Structure 1
Amino acid sequence: MAKRGPYGKGQAKRKEILMAALEVFAAEGYRGTSLRKVADRCGLSLPGLMHYFESKEDLLTQVLRMRDETARLRHPEHTPETYRRIVREGTATPGLVELFVSMAAAAGDPRHPAHGHFAERYPVIREQVAAFLRVRMDEGGMRSDVPPERLAALFVAVADGIQMQWLVDRSMDMEQPIGDVMRLLRPAGVPAEGEGRC
């Protein structure tokens, strides 16, 4: 049943704001974009926009949650190829990459609004990647001398870390390191699964 009344309208407006912020940051960058532009797009004043969030940092954290949710809908599998597609999309939306990297660094402070998001995000992603890796190990398509949980942490570190490097040097290929890790972990004599796949 659809939500009705002020609460439902408030939730709908909040979602509209987050979608507008995603689009504006993707098109114009995170640091160079004023929240006033997001407010204008939603037909609000800046104080009106902030009425829907506890703080600017809370709004930015919710934008990241929305980014993750839309990525999950587009890429429901958790494979290295999924990560390659996600980082490929990042090259087209550098403002969102910048937002992610900045908020990930800020999330180290337990008092920051992004802390809870990242504290929830990483264990879930690591377990999803580890489940994929376990299957590959059981099939003999991957070395099994390193536990899948540790390899999952490595994959997430590579995917997140390459974004940080790319922000400094846009000539870097953000997809290549993920494929390289997969090739390094393939047992000797096991052929690649196909051209362009990891």
Structure 2
Amino acid sequence: MSTEVSGTPTGYARGRATREEILDAAMRLFGEVGYTSASLREVASRVGITHPGLLHHFKSKAALLEAVLQRRDEIDEAAIRADREAGVDYFEALVLLVERNARRPAIVELFTTLSGEATSPGHPAHAYFQDRYARVVGTTAEMLEERRLAGGLRPGVDPLTAARLLVAVMDGLQVQWLLEADAQGTRVDMAAGLRAAYAALFVPVDDTAR
């Protein structure tokens, strides 16, 4: 059994720390070069452990990818859940998420790179992104239907179509935001872009109150 002496982490605690370090390094590498081009040896090198040491935590690159994606979802879902529990509207919670992502370029790069790669049916994250898009579009469509029933959608707006448009806006803005990282001038404001999309779909609050 490992023990802790003079502030030195136990074997278990060190194992957990290393696992988190591996996920951080993999998240950055997958975002930089994609899953296909990334190697476990490069991830291990970035963390400062051996390749066999990394395999002690993750038995394969596919297992590591799954853990990285799961971690990303946990971060986002926890943030949205906290906002909703605090009384924040679903659509405002999405804006807050976009604002947080603007401070986490590695997360944005990871999602954008992997979602593009995963359009190939043979990619290990293909099913994950299929399920994720179905879930996100479905939830957003449900929230839009609630807004429609409350008189909050403009006439003729179909909730499912609008949900797909909003998801496309968020993803497209992320691509532009990443491409403008080294450009001169002002980087696209992703939150403002999403709010502009809302304005095109939603009835202004003052109008719904009348």
1:50 to 55, 66, 76: 55
Q: More displaced, 136-145 or 75-84?
A: 75-84
Report the Cα distance in structure 2 between the residues aligned to 1:158 and 1:25, rounded to whole angstroms.
27
Report the CA distance shift for 1:58/1:29 in structure 2 as closer, same or farther (over 3 A). closer
Report the CA distance shift for 1:164/1:54 in structure 2 as closer, same or farther (over 3 A). farther
Match of 2:44 in 1: 36
Give the length in aligned residue pairs. Answer: 179
Report the Cα distance in structure 2 between the residues aligned to 1:168 and 1:57, rounded to whole angstroms.
28
1:70 to 75, 80, 83: 75
2:206 to 179, 191, 194: 191
Report the CA distance shift for 1:128/1:21 in structure 2 as closer, same or farther (over 3 A). farther
Aligned partner letter, 1:66: R
Match of 1:60 in 2: 65
Q: TM-score, normalised to structure 1's length? A: 0.75
Q: Tell me if 1:87 matches 2:87.
A: no
Deviations 1:68-121, CA, capped at 9 Å, x for gaps: 122111212482222211121112111111111110001011111111110110
Unaligned runs of 5+ in 2: 1-11, 182-186
Report the CA distance shift for 1:105/1:30 in structure 2 as closer, same or farther (over 3 A). closer
Report the Cα distance in structure 1 between the residues aligned to 2:153 and 2:79, rounded to whole angstroms.
26
Match of 1:178 in 2: 194
Secondary structure of 2:154 counterpart:
coil
Report the Cα distance in structure 2 between the residues aligned to 1:110 and 1:26, rounded to whole angstroms.
22
Higher relative CO (Cα under 8 Å, sequence separation at least 6) belongs to: 1
Secondary structure of 2:206 counterpart:
coil
Post-superposition shift, 1:31? 2.3
Report the Cα distance in structure 2 between the residues aligned to 1:53 and 1:126, rounded to whole angstroms.
31
Report the Cα distance in structure 1 between the residues aligned to 2:18 and 2:73, rounded to whole angstroms.
16
CA contact (8 A) 2:26 2:68 kept: no
Q: Which entry has the higher C-alpha Rg, 1 or 2?
A: 2
Report the Cα distance in structure 1 between the residues aligned to 2:151 and 2:66, rounded to whole angstroms.
40
Unaligned runs of 5+ in 1: 1-9, 194-198
Report the Cα distance in structure 2 between the residues aligned to 1:140 and 1:71, rounded to whole angstroms.
29
